[in-house]
Amino acid sequence: MTFKHLWENRLYNQIKLQTMWLVWLSFIAACGLGFLFHLVFLPVYSAHIREDELFRHGGLMVVYCGIGLLAGCSRFLYLHSQKKVDFYHSQPVSIMERFWVNVATDILSILPGIIVNVFVDMIVFRVNGIFSREVIIELILAMGFSVLAFSSGYVMAVLCTILTNHLIYTGLFFCLVIWGPFMLAVSLDDMIARSMKHIKSSTNFLDYFGYINPINHLAVTRSSLDNGDFIKEILWQLFLIMVTVALAYVAFTFRNMERTSLATPIVWLKHVIRGFSMVVLICFTQALGYYTISSNFANSILYISICCILLYVIVNYIIELNFKCMIQKVTFFTSLAGVLLYLCIFFVCNYDLLGIDRYVPNPEKVKTVTLSVTQEWKNHNSVMQTLTCNEVEYKDVGAVCKMAKKMIAVDDEYEEEGINRYGFGEDVIDVTYHMKNGKMITRSYTYYNEEMYNGNEVPYLAIVNSKEFMESALPIVFDSSYLETWKKKEGKIKLEMLVYQEDGTDITDSEFTINDKNNLEEVQKLLAAYREDLNAQGDFSLYHPDVENTVSIYIEQSDKKGEWEDRIHFEIPIGQNFTNTLAFLKEYIPQYSTSFNG
Amino acid sequence: MIEIKELNKNFGKDQILSDINFTIKDGEVFGLIGTNGAGKSTLLRTITGIYKPNSGTVTVDGLPVYDNPKAKQLFFFLPDDLYFSQGMTPKSLATYYKGIYPAFDIEKYMKLLDQFHLNPKKRISTYSKGMKRQVAILAGICANTKYVLLDESFDGLDPVIRKAVKQLLVREMDERGMTTIITSHNLREQEDICDHIGVLHQSKIVLSKDMVALKCSVQNVEVCFASDAEAEQTLAKLCIKKQKQKGPLYLLTVEGDREEVMEILHSVDTTYLDVQSLSLEDIFIKEMEAIGYDIQTFMGE
């Protein structure tokens, strides 16, 4: 079977008879949207936008993905009709040829529109004087993205269509694959955020969301143009497309085993879809109905029960298209499995049955630990001070673990006693345990009041007020070579210093920026003055009652394109007796007020 | 030759075909008849490779059928519910089939379309049900395959076209030895055209016989014996499938070779004797009655 034979006998005829609409649609999309869009916005481009941004709007990618969904679904929708299956599958065409000729036909059908659009765009840009090597590269990239977007939508639609037996069920399955993990992740995130005290709701779920299927990954691929992982993400995209089409092919071969009217060619898959739908949708409706659930236990039981019944009916009707299936044992038990899974998730999150929320790792298994602290306290003028330190490495892992356990215990004690902590000031400390096995565990603890420790030592305060913590938090102060390393980096360095001053009634801020890395010397003078003052203070700590003010230093480095990145932030507390530092600030910042000294 | 050996096909828990064994010889017209829901269409779909058997084999000229284009090239399947692509005309259908069946004779097809007064450039979707069927049957004939499988293909054809199509089929069988497999509930029609009959009931083949042998193997006998003793003696010698008595008149359905039955009946004194062959429909009904599938079951008697 040569490509010539295939082209003459199958592909050409098939395109002519069955796919011309796709060819025309591709032309309309590419030339209509792509070309006209550029023509309309060309005057804007020529004035403002960089050449590599010309084709990075995601609109055409979304359109081609949509066309791919339409094409994939319509191409294989014949599998849902007995008479169409009889017509096609009785023909002397092997399963492999039938599948791949269909796929090849559709991909070939959209290429003419995209290719023509590339050439037309080139002409338009040439005529308008925006034409360079970068423009050609971007045009080719845009063409590649369009094909990738089409392919991603196409293979997903093909897989979903093959695995189902009618269009509505295809739609349910598709939505489940595309959005199901996302909905589940968001719902779990919400559940964790609302019910767990020490686990921070994070976006870790969403990092993986982009790798579940090729359509979701399009967003990751698109954004990789800006963050440098472009080649890697393109390879991932191709890999996901190939895996999906391979799965579709395998499912296609199984299709001939079953009657067209059955829900799926793989019978057990229907039960998995049913169960998973129940879990996802119940979690999502629970997240939506949070306020009903949180009001009281009876309301939450009623709400969840009604949701379960409604979803049971809706999901199963979509799958089977009849109500009789609702009373079948297999339908009931597979749906029940989904409900039970949800209940497990619910109880684990709300009652911390697995002890995840209260987990503190064994110090021997921890490699390092970093702390991020946001603390508020009143200084000697009874003025509220706030100080934030991020990702401060603390060497004494054992002390941190001990602190975590104590904070959990105190929190539980107060919760048991039903004490309302509203009105207490609170500090939040985020602890990230970097394990020896490479994993990272992050927990968040809240410190309210020293009284809660009944006169015992407060491990939290011992850590954050320690010299070791201060030195780790402010390497810019204690490591004299710290700024030197920035001097050696390529690109520009920007230093911002923000000083907030308070005169008791008004809060004003002044900001000045050092834009030239040569002015690092000025900052080094400030730091030298600060170190001198610090040495004179003795026991001064980061969160000392004598802190009057803070100087925030931001360091940013720009890349070749002039975009700022690698932003590092230090907040340096200044005590009321830091005379050298204050003198420097007054000299350097004309707007700096001395009112607080008075 | 199409050989089916111990074929089993089920969809989930439903057993649709159970231990099917029969052979279709080259050049014959095989009529597949059966009760509603017996599995006729599923059997045809399994033969044509649309469905994969759960066990057993289906071979065409020694080649297994499933996912085997070489074997599938040998036959053309016309289902009862026809499908044509959007916008297809008879002419484009011919081009399409030419790509799939290399032996498809486009010239012959155009000629036949003309003879049947079908416009080759008109969209098939605008045709009536009968005309669509004509287009499909003519395409099947012009595909020049060795076997043609027709599932209820005469439905919707008027009597004239029906006769014309049958003549075409017969001509093809004579000229190139085409083998035809026909399913139909119109047993009168099957009786005219088929050489071999297979009866399918509740997933099993209950009867598979040559048409002549089938018709000669069962007869209706109306007889009045001279005496009761002779009646008793004679009835004991015959293989009686069904017996009724109205006074001295015995109404019998007798299984066995017709000549042998006649010999037995002529060897005794009878006051009245009439022996008639059963029609295929009668044979079918009688066979079904023997296995409990009869009118009384449906009428609640």
A287-306 tens-digit pLDDT: 777 666 666 777 778 888 88
d(Cα B82, Cα B74) in Å, to the nearest integer?
20
Min distance B186 CA to chain A CA atoms (Å):
22
Q: Is B147 on the interface with A (CB under 8 A)?
A: no
The CATH superfamily assigned to B2-202 is: P-loop containing nucleotide triphosphate hydrolases (3.40.50.300)
User: Do residue B83 and residue A262 have CB atoms under 8 angstroms apart?
Assistant: no
Q: DSSP letters of B7-76?
A: EEEEETTEEEEEEEEEEE-TT-EEEEEE-TTSSHHHHHHHHTTSS--SEEEEEETTEE-TT-HHHHTTEE
Nearest-by-Cβ selection for B99 from A10, A257, A258: A10
For all residues of chain B together, what is the average pLDDT?
Answer: 87
CB atoms within 10 A of CB A296: 10
Q: Name the residue in chain A with its Cα closest to that of B140.
A: A91
Question: Do residues A564 and A556 make contact, with C-beta atoms less than 8 angstroms apart?
Answer: yes
User: Nearest-5° angle of CA A50, CA A56, CA A59?
Assistant: 140
Task: Single out the residue of A387, A456, A452 nearest to residue A424, CA to CA.
Answer: A452
* Alpha carbon separation from B280 to B22, B25, B204, B241 (Å, rounded): 20, 21, 19, 16
Nearest to B72 among A13, A81, A91 (CB): A91
Of A9, A92, A259, the CB nearest to B73: A92
What residues contact A270, with CB distance under 8 A and at least 6 apart? A263, A264, A319
Q: Cβ–Cβ of B67/A94 closer than 8 Å?
A: yes
Rounded to an integer, what distance in angstroms lies between the CA atom of residue B107 and that of residue A132?
Answer: 57
* Domain chopping of chain A, boundaries: 1-162+214-257, 167-209+266-357, 363-471, 474-597
If you average pLDDT over residues B2-15, what whole number do you get?
87
Query: pLDDT at position A294, please?
Result: 61
| Contacts with A86 from chain B: Cβ below 8 Å | 45, 50, 77, 79, 81, 83
Point out the least confidently predicted range of A110-124, A513-527, B21-35, B52-66.
A513-527
Q: Please give the angle made by the CA atoms of A518, A523 and A524, to the nearest 5 degrees.
A: 90
Mutate to test the interface with B, among A83, A253, A259 (most CBs of B within 10 A): A259
User: What backbone torsions phi and psi does residue A389 show, to the nearest 5 degrees?
Assistant: -125, 135
What is the C-alpha to C-alpha distance for residues B218 and B261, in angstroms, rounded to an integer? 10
Give the chain B residue nearest A88 (alpha carbons). B50
Of B69, B71, B79, the CB nearest to A83: B79
B77 and chain A: CB distance < 8 Å anywhere? yes
Please enumerate in sequence order all residues whose Cβ is within 8 A of that of B258, keeping only pairs 6 or more positions apart, or say none.
Answer: B216, B217, B219, B275, B277
What pLDDT, in 10s, does the model give residues A387-418? Answer: 778 888 898 999 999 999 998 888 888 777 76
In sequence order, what are the residues at sequence separation of 6 or more whose Cβ sits closer than 8 angstroms to the Cβ of residue B277? B215, B216, B218, B219, B220, B258
Q: Is B79 on the interface with A (CB under 8 A)?
A: yes
Closest CA to A146 of A255, A288, A284, A37: A37
Residue A425 has pLDDT above 70, yes or no: no
According to CATH, where is 3.30.70 located in chain B?
Answer: 213-299
Q: What's the first-to-final CA gap in chain A, in angstroms?
A: 93
Nearest by CB: B83 against A87, A95, A256: A87
- Name the residue among B155, B154, B156 with its Cα closest to residue B167: B154
Task: pLDDT band for B114, please (50, 70, 90 cuts).
Answer: very high
Say whether A258 and B11 touch across the interface (CB within 8 A).
yes
- Burial tier of A30 (Cβ tally within 10 Å: 0-12, 13-18, 19+): buried
pLDDT in tens, A3-43: 566 666 666 666 666 667 777 777 777 766 666 666 666 66
Which of chain B's residues have a Cβ under 8 Å away from the Cβ of A95? 67
Candidates 3.30.460, 3.30.420, 3.30.70, 3.30.56; CATH matching B213-299: 3.30.70
Q: Is ipTM strictly over 0.95?
A: no
- Judging by DSSP bridges, how do beta strands A493-502 and A440-447 pair with one another? unpaired
Q: Which residue has tokens 């508020």?
A: A376
- What are the pLDDT digits (tens) for A34-83? 666 666 666 665 555 555 555 555 677 888 898 899 889 988 998 888 88
Contact A542, A469 (CB under 8 A): yes
pLDDT digits (tens, 9 = 90+) for B137-179: 999 999 999 999 999 888 888 888 888 888 888 888 888 888 9
The residue of A5, A8, A14, A17 whose CB has the most chain B CBs within 10 angstroms, and thus the best one to mutate to test that interface, is A17
pLDDT at A160: 93
Instruction: List, for residues B86-108, the tens digit of each pLDDT value.
Output: 888 999 899 889 888 989 999 99
Kindly report, as residue ranges, where domains of CATH 3.40.50.300 are found in chain B. Answer: 2-202
Tokens 């602890």, residue? A431
Whether residue A594 is predicted with pLDDT greater than 60 in this model: the reply is no
Q: What is the pLDDT of residues B269-301, one digit of tens each?
A: 888 999 888 887 877 777 777 777 666 666 665
Residue whose pair of structure tokens reads 């015959």 in the numeric block:
B238
Instruction: Give the lowest-confidence range in A308-312, A523-527, B118-122.
Output: A523-527
B81 has a chain A CB within 8 A of its CB: yes
| Cα-only R_g, chain A | 31
Please name the member of A9, A95, A257 whose beta carbon is closest to the beta carbon of B99: A9
Identify the closest residue of chain B to A98 by CA–CA distance.
B67
Nearest CA-CA partner of A170 in A291, A273, A293, A276 = A273
The DSSP annotation for A425-459 comes to --EEEEEEEEETTS-EEEEEEEE--GGGGTTS--H
Q: In this model, does residue A433 exceed pLDDT 90?
A: yes
Write out pLDDT tens, residues B34-72: 878 888 889 999 999 999 898 999 999 999 999 999 999
Closest CA to A554 of A515, A581, A597: A515
pLDDT in tens, A194-206: 788 888 765 556 5
b/e code B244-268 from CB counts within 10 Å (16+ = b): eeeeeebebbbebeeeebeeebeeb
Lowest mean pLDDT among A242-256, A444-458, A548-562, B110-124: A548-562
Asked if A129 contacts A47 with a C-beta cutoff of 8 angstroms, the reply is no
